[in-house]
A and B are shown apart, each in its own frame.
Chain A
Amino acid sequence: MARTLRVLVGKPGLDGHDRGAKVVASALRDAGMEVIYTGLRATPEAIVATAIQESCDVIGLSVLSGAHETIAKRILELLRARGAEIPILMGGVIPPEDRERLRALGVGAIFGQEASLQEIVEGVRQLAASDGDADDQTHHEEGIQ
C-alpha cells in the first residue's frame, strides 16, 4: 500500500511572494501528500527543525529574491549537522547557471517558473524514493491520516 508522503514547503529568506509556494503546496495536497507550510520568513534553523520533527520525506524551498545559494548552503549544513538525510528541492527565480552549483551543493532538484505542477509532483515522488528505504518509513502512516 502506498504510504502518504510528507513534504515541508518552506519559504525562507525575506521575500514575501508566496504565490508559487502556495500553488505547489496545493498541488502536492491534491496529489495526496501531507504538506506542512512554514509561512513567510522561515529561518533555515526552523525549517530544518520542523522537517526533522515532522518526519518529512522532502523539503521544498521557494526562493525568488536571489538568495537561493546562501539559503541552500545553510539548510544543507544544518541537515548534515543533525545527521538528517532529507532531500531538498528548490523552486522560484533561479538562473540556469546557478543550477549546477546548487546541485553540486546537494540540492536534489530545481524547478523554475516553467515547471508544470505534474512535473513538480513527480519530482517530489522521485526525490522521496531516491533516499532509499521506502519500507522503513511506514511510520508515516501512523496517526497522521
Chain B
Amino acid sequence: MPKREPKELPPQHTRSGTPIAPLYGPEKPDSKIGKPGEYPFTRGIYPSMYLGKMWTMRQYAGFGTPEETNRRFRYLLESGQTGLSVALDLPTQLGYDSDAPEALGEVGKVGVAIDSLADMETIFQNIPLDKVSTSFTINGTAPILLAMYQAVAAKQGVPYERIAGTIQNDLLKEFGARGAWIFPIAPSLRLCVDAIAYCAEKLPRFNPISIASHFRDAGANPAEEAAYTLADGVAYVKACLERGLGVDQFAPRLSFFFYTYVNFFEEVAKYRAMRRIWARLMKERFGAENPDSWRLRIACVCGGHSLTKAEPLNNIARTTIETMAVACAGLQSVFTAAYDEAFAIPTELAARTALRVQQIVAYETDVAKTIDPLAGSYFVEALTDEMESAITGIMDQIEERGGMVRCLEDGWVQRRIAERAFEYQRDLDAGKVPVVGVNVFKADKEEPLQIHRVDEAAERAKADSVRALRKSRDQATVEAALTALESAARDEGKNLMTPIYDAVMAYATVGEITDRLRRVFGVYTPSRVF
C-alpha cells in the first residue's frame, strides 16, 4: 500500500447534507475497470485518491535572473502552491552559457538562465529543499541540473534521500516534437538512463524522468499523443533493461506528463485508458511484480495549444474545464497555464489566477469528494474502451515499424504530426472546428492586455556574472573535473552522473560541461524534410 494512504477518510457531504461516499460502484466490478488503487487502475492509481491527498498544484515558473525566479517562487509558495516547477531559458536547455554567441537574445526569455551552481543556490535561497518538491523542465542538460539541485541540497544540509522532484529528462520527445535536443539519439538515451540508474541508487524520492507528450502540442490528436508517449515509455524501459537494471528497480519512479485540452470527456477517457494500457504492459510484457511499477503516475498541463491569443480572458474558462477534466480523471500533479500564455511569460496576476483555477476546482466544487466520479457513465466507459483500442492500435503499428526510436529516426512520427497539424489548421480556417473568439463569436476589437516584459539589460548582466564566476573559481579543480568527465564519456560503461556532479561542485558551467560532452558525442543533425 502506498505510504500516502490515510487510516480514515474524512466524511464528505453535499450542500444539501447528503453524505458522499468515497467510492461508488458495483460490489464486484468488471475486471477491466477494477477498484481504485488496484490493477489495472482504470479508476486511479491510489485507493483513496484525492481524499487521501489532493493533487499537487505545480505552476511552471521562472524567468530572467535567478534572483527574479527566487522572488516568484517565494510568492507562489506563499500563495498556497504546493510544488515548484522551474522553467529554464533556451541556452540553459541546450547547454550554452549566458555569454555564448548562440545565446544572444535568448537569455532569460522563456525561463531562468542557469549557468552554474551559484545560480541554483540563488534560486533556492531560503527555500528548504526538504520542504518542497521541484520539477525541472530540462532534457538535454538534465543530468547537470539534477547534479546542481543535489549539490544545493548538500549545501543546505538536506540529506540526498529526502529531496523530491522531477527532471523531465525525456530526450525522445525532443527528437519527435519539442526540438530541444543536443546530442544524437544514442548518447542522449545513454545520459537519460544514467540519470535513471543514479536516482534508483541515490535519490529514492526523485523522479528521474517525466515522459512527456509534447507530440500533442505539435499537432498529434489525443490517441496519437497517448500512443507516442507510452511508446517512448516502452523505449525507456527497454533501454534500462539493456543497461542491466531490474524492472522493479526503476519502473516505480517513471512518471509521465500529458497535455489536456478542452475536449473534456475524451481527455477523461484518455487518462483512464492509458492507466490500463501501462499497467498491462508493465505487468504482462515486462514482468514487473511491484504494483508501483504498474501505476501510471501522471502530471499534466491544462492549456497549451488549446489556448488562444484572441480574447485571452476566455482562456480562464478553457483551463477551468481542463482542470475539471483532470480532476475527474485522477491525475497526480497539475499545471494550469495562465490566460496570457499565448503572449508571453505570465504576469504575476495571470500566474496567480491560474493557480486559483486549480484551487477553485479542488476546494469549491465537489469533484474531489468521491473517487473517479465519472466511472460507470455509459459514455465515459465506452469512450475509455475506444481510446484504449485506438491507442494500442497505434502502439502496435510503432512496434511493427521497429519501435519508437526507429520511428523517430526515420521521421515517421514527425511526418504524421506535421500532417495532423496542417489538417487541424485547415479545419480551423474553414470553421470546421469552432474556437470561440477565433473563428466563431469574434469580438470587434482586441482589448489591451498587460503582459510580462523581460528586462533586456538582464541578459547583459547575466553574461557578465558568468564571466565573473569563471575568474573567481579555482580553475585547476574545474579543469581536472572536466577532463575526468570527458574521459568517462569516452568509456561507454561509465555512468556520467558522478563526474558531472564533481564538475558542478567545482562550479564548472552548463556550457563547459556540455561542450566536453559535445566533443565526445557530437551533435544531432535535424531533418529539413517533413
The judgment on whether A and B are partners is yes
Point out residues on A near B: beta carbons under 8 Å.
13-19, 22-23, 25-27, 37-41, 65-67, 69-71, 93, 95-96, 112-114, 116-118
Residue in contact with A66 in the complex, picked from B96, B179, B217, B454, CB distance below 8 Å: B454
The reply to whether A16 and B106 contact each other, CB–CB distance below 8 Å, is no
A38 to B181, CA, bound (A): 16
B24, CB-defined interface residue at 8 Å: no
Asked, given contacts A16-B180, A67-B106, A95-B344, whether A23 binds B90 with beta carbons under 8 Å apart, the answer is no
Given A13-B106, A16-B180, A19-B219, check contact A114 B310 (CB 8 Å).
Answer: yes
Instruction: Report yes or no: B425 in contact with A27, Cβ–Cβ below 8 A.
Output: yes
Chain B minimum-CB-distance residue to A94: B343
27 intermolecular pairs with C-beta atoms under 8 Å apart: A13-B90, A13-B106, A14-B93, A14-B103, A15-B179, A16-B181, A17-B218, A18-B218, A19-B218, A22-B422, A23-B421, A23-B422, A25-B530, A26-B418, A26-B422, A37-B528, A38-B528, A39-B527, A39-B528, A40-B526, A66-B106, A66-B109, A66-B344, A67-B105, A69-B105, A95-B343, A95-B451
Residues of chain A within 8 A (CB-CB) of B96 are 14
Contact A117 B109 (CB under 8 A): no
B104 within 8 A of A: yes
Question: How many angstroms from the CA of A93 to the CA of B308 in the assembled complex?
Answer: 12
Give me the 3 closest cross-chain CB pairs, A-B, nearest first. Answer: A16-B179, A70-B105, A14-B90
Which A residues lie within 8 Å of B422 (CB)? 22-23, 26-27
Q: A14-B91, A23-B421 are in contact. Are A70 and B104 (CB under 8 A)?
A: yes
A23 to B425, CA, bound (A): 7
Question: Complex Cα distance A130/B105, Å?
Answer: 30
Number of interface residues of B (CB under 8 A): 42
B429 and A22: CB pair below 8 A? Answer: no
The reply to whether B438 and A18 contact each other, CB–CB distance below 8 Å, is no
* A113 / chain B contacts, CB cutoff of 8 Å: 308-309, 342
Set of chain B residues within 8 Å of A41, measured between Cβ atoms = 526
Query: Is B413 an interface position by the 8 A CB rule?
Result: no
Q: In the complex, what distance in Å separates the CA atom of A41 from the CA atom of B106? A: 12
Q: How far is the CA of A22 from the CA of B438 in the complex (A)?
A: 21
Docked CA distance A37–B528 (Å): 6
A118 CA to B426 CA, complexed, in Å: 9
A132 to chain B, nearest CB (A): 30
A16 to B, closest residue via Cβ: B179
CA distance A113 to B305 in the complex (A): 10
By a CB distance below 8 angstroms, the chain A residues around B464 are: none
In the bound complex, CA of A95 to CA of B342 (Å)? 10
Q: Does B239 contact A (CB under 8 A)?
A: no
Q: Are B342 and A22 within 8 A (Cβ)?
A: no
Are A22's CB and B106's CB within 8 A?
no
Are A14 and B94 neighbours in the complex by a CB distance under 8 Å?
yes
Complex alpha-carbon distance, A118 and B430, angstroms: 10
Contacts of B181 in A (CB 8 A): 16
Sample of 8 more A-B contacts, CB < 8 Å, known A14-B106, A117-B425? A17-B217, A18-B179, A37-B528, A37-B529, A39-B527, A65-B90, A66-B344, A117-B426
Contacts of A13 in B (CB 8 A): 90, 105-106
| Residue B102 is within 8 A (CB to CB) of chain A in the complex | yes
Q: How far is the CA of A132 from the CA of B422 in the complex (A)?
A: 31
In the complex, what residues of B have CB within 8 A of residue A112's CB? 309
Contacts of B426 in A (CB 8 A): 27, 117
CB distance from A2 to the nearest CB of B (A): 23
CA distance A114 to B51 in the complex (A): 42
Counting CB contacts under 8 A, is B313 at the interface? no
A40 near B106: Cβ-Cβ < 8 Å: no
Residue on B with the closest CB to A11? B179
B266 within 8 A of partner (CB)? no
List CB contacts (< 8 Å) of B508-530 with chain A.
Answer: 526-530
Contact B429 A116 (CB under 8 A): yes
Q: Mark B216-241, 1 if CB is under 8 A from A, else 0.
A: 01110000000000000000000000
Give Cα A66–Cα B343 distance, bound, in whole angstroms: 10
Contact across chains for A17 and B342 when beta carbons are under 8 A apart: no
* B174 and chain A: residue at smallest CB distance: A16
Q: Are B217 and A19 in contact (CB under 8 A)?
A: yes
| Chain B residues numbered 388-436 whose CB sits less than 8 Å from any CB in chain A | 418, 421-422, 425-426, 429
Interface centre among B426, B451, B527, B529 (most CB of A within 10 A): B426
Whether B451 pairs with A39 at a CB distance below 8 angstroms is no
Residues in B with CB closer than 8 Å to A16 are: 174, 178-181
Q: Mark B109-141, 1 if CB is under 8 A from A, else 0.
A: 110000000000000000000000000000000
A residues in contact with B529, CB < 8 Å: 37
Q: Which residue of B lies closest to A18 (CB)?
A: B179
Expressed in whole angstroms, the Cα–Cα distance for A67 and B109 within the complex equals 8
Known A13-B90, A112-B309; contact A65-B106, beta-carbon cutoff 8 A: yes
Chain B 322-352 residues near chain A, CB threshold 8 A: 342-344
How many angstroms between the C-alpha atoms of A95 and B450 in the bound complex?
11
Contact B528 A71, beta carbon cutoff 8 Å: no
A22 engages B528 (CB within 8 Å): no
Q: Across the interface, do B526 and A22 meet the contact criterion of CB distance under 8 Å?
A: no
Q: Which residue of chain B has the shortest Cβ distance to A96 in the bound complex?
A: B446
CB distance from B137 to the nearest CB of A (A): 12
CA distance A15 to B526 in the complex (A): 13
Distance of A19 from chain B, by nearest CB (Å):
5
Residue from A22, A37, A112 whose CB has the most chain B CB atoms within 10 Å = A22
Q: Chain B 171-182 against A: per-residue CB contact (8 Å), 1 yes, 0 no? A: 000100011110
Q: In chain A, what residue has the closest Cβ to B178?
A: A16
Cα A22 to Cα B309 in complex, Å, equals 20
Measured CB to CB, the closest approach of chain B to A17, in angstroms, equals 7
Which B52-110 residues have a C-beta within 8 angstroms of A?
A: 90-91, 93-94, 96, 102-106, 109-110
CB distance from A56 to the nearest CB of B (A): 14
* A25 CB contacts on chain B under 8 angstroms: 530
List, in ascending order, chain A residues with CB within 8 A of B90's CB.
13-15, 65
